Amino acid sequence: MNARVPMTASEDTARRWRDVRNVLAVRLDNLGDVLMTTPALSAIRQSLPGARITLLTSAAGAMAARHIPEIDEALIFQAPWIKAGAANGGFDGRGTQRMVRRLAACRFDAAVIFTVCTQSALPAAMLCMLAGIPLRLAYCRENPYALLTDWVADQEVVADGMRHEVLRQLALVEHVGWRAPTDRLRFQVPMDDAVRLQERTLLAGLDPRQPYVVVHPGASAPSRRYPAARFGVAAQAVAEESGAQVVFTGAASERTLIEEAQAVMTVPSLAFAGDLSLGELAALIAGAKVLIANNSGPAHIAAAVNTPVVDVYALTNPQHTPWGVPSRVLFRDVPCRNCLKSVCPEGHHQCLLGVEPHDVAGAALDLMGLAPLVMPAANVALERSPELRLPVENRLGRENRGSRDSGRRGRTAVVHPVKLLD
């Protein structure tokens, strides 16, 4: 299901979109969603090298704009039909009216509206139509009539095996004849961010001669947060086995999570809670041997800067695994998977709590080339789960055996901890 099937634009469609010179790309959700859209933005830039590309996005998404070379400008809009926007003061219509006027003043030739399959593109399509943008492209489940000039029937449902978010957005722009030279995520770290990061880490006591791992215990949704203390136990094991330094990161509001993780550790560690800019965080992750995190923005930053990822993955949405880098996606299968909820609807968090710290540590050490995928503590289950002893490339080809390829082309191993616990 993750295989990419190129679409062929009709001659008429390709002709109408070929001469576009001022493009509005609409991606109204979070940082990670914007990063997973960057291959599609690259397709726009490659197909229209002289065009201006403006990103209409959330405040969180705008943080990434200066690091994405395809974007010329970012406009912030807290859309009332998006969860984050609705939470910021409700809706009286005036903010949307101001945005219509602002978009109209920009005189865009075309708008591409990027959504996940559970979102409707129609409110954004109405916004763009009222702003006088003549070409409007999006996925849609019902006939949008005049709201969209070009649309792709959205037949996706949230289920195991659905295509990755990156592939979804690439297929959308291919509908009008735009193709990317690469499907890599895009994120540039400016030199000044790298220099400031080096200064900060030296002052904090990081030894530049020794390797380090980054641990990010936070996530915006409670349903996607692995217990912080378990991150600490895993980080301790990685440090003891590899000799690597441990660096915790998070927002200022996540300082307590970092302290909980550090409290269970006996080896020293560093912490940056709300101290780093986005560029500095990316520079830190770029230099790490591995990132250990929940399914959150830093996991997608790691994919963009080519750092291996251990992703303790809550089964809320199967589309958002790390893309294009060596990674281990850890979860326990549960009947309530793919719930799309920010708070665990069952209250048990078993998709995360079924993952033991030694599973996390073992995955990190494996990505560092220092240990097998399955840690010794879990070997008791090997005779009942022989596929766990196969090479990664072979495991990824098995269906309905407890391992899924949720990355791409043999580069991501998904460890299904329930098999270890049977």
- Tokens 């078993």 belong to which residue? 350
Residue 3 lies in a domain: no
Residue 30 lies in a domain: yes
pLDDT at 371: 58
Question: Which DSSP letter does residue 162 get?
Answer: P
Q: Which two tokens stand for residue 373?
A: 């995928």
147 plus 204 within the same structural domain? no
140 plus 279 within the same structural domain? no
- Angle between helix 228-242 and 255-263 (nearest 10): 50
Single residue among 174, 201, 219 that ends a domain in this structure: 174
Residue 186 lies in a domain: no
For 260-293, what is each residue's pLDDT tens digit? 999 999 999 999 999 999 999 999 999 999 999 9
Residue 180 lies in a domain: no
295 plus 355 within the same structural domain? yes
Residue 181 lies in a domain: no
For 333-368, what is each residue's pLDDT tens digit? 888 777 667 777 777 778 888 899 999 999 999 999
Tell me how crowded residue 374 is: count the other CB atoms within 10 A of its CB. 21
Residue 38 lies in a domain: yes
For 100-148, what is each residue's pLDDT tens digit? 999 999 999 999 999 999 999 999 999 999 999 999 999 999 999 999 9
255 plus 403 within the same structural domain? yes
156 plus 217 within the same structural domain? no
CATH number, position 292: 3.40.50.2000
What spatial distance separates the first Cα and last Cα of the chain, rounded to whole Å? Answer: 28
Q: Report the domain count for the chain.
A: 2
Phi, psi of 216 (to 5 degrees): -120, 100
Residue 264 lies in a domain: yes
Question: Which DSSP letter does residue 402 get?
Answer: S
Residue 267 lies in a domain: yes
Question: Which DSSP letter does residue 318 get?
Answer: T
Question: Which DSSP letter does residue 17 get?
Answer: H
Single residue among 121, 147, 174 that ends a domain in this structure: 174
**How far is it, in rounded angstroms, from Cα 44 to Cα 20?**
10
280 plus 379 within the same structural domain? yes
Single residue among 148, 174, 200 that ends a domain in this structure: 174
pLDDT at 341: 73
**How far is it, in rounded angstroms, from Cα 246 to Cα 269?**
5
82 plus 213 within the same structural domain? no
Q: Indicate the pTM of the whole model.
A: 0.84
Identify the residue with better confidence: 41 or 399: 41
165 plus 210 within the same structural domain? no
Name the burial class of residue 291, with classes exposed (0-12), middle (13-18) and buried (19+) by CB atoms within 10 angstroms of its CB.
buried
216 plus 114 within the same structural domain? no
Instruction: State which H helix or E strand residue 198 sits in.
Output: helix 191-204
258 plus 141 within the same structural domain? no
Phi, psi of 95 (to 5 degrees): -65, -40
Contact 74, 57 (CB under 8 A): yes
For 40-93, what is each residue's pLDDT tens digit? 999 999 999 999 999 999 999 999 999 999 999 999 999 999 876 555 655 668
271 plus 406 within the same structural domain? yes
297 plus 402 within the same structural domain? yes
CA 202 from centre of chain: 29
- Its domain, for residue 77, covers 11-174
For 4-26, what is each residue's pLDDT tens digit? 444 556 888 888 999 999 999 99
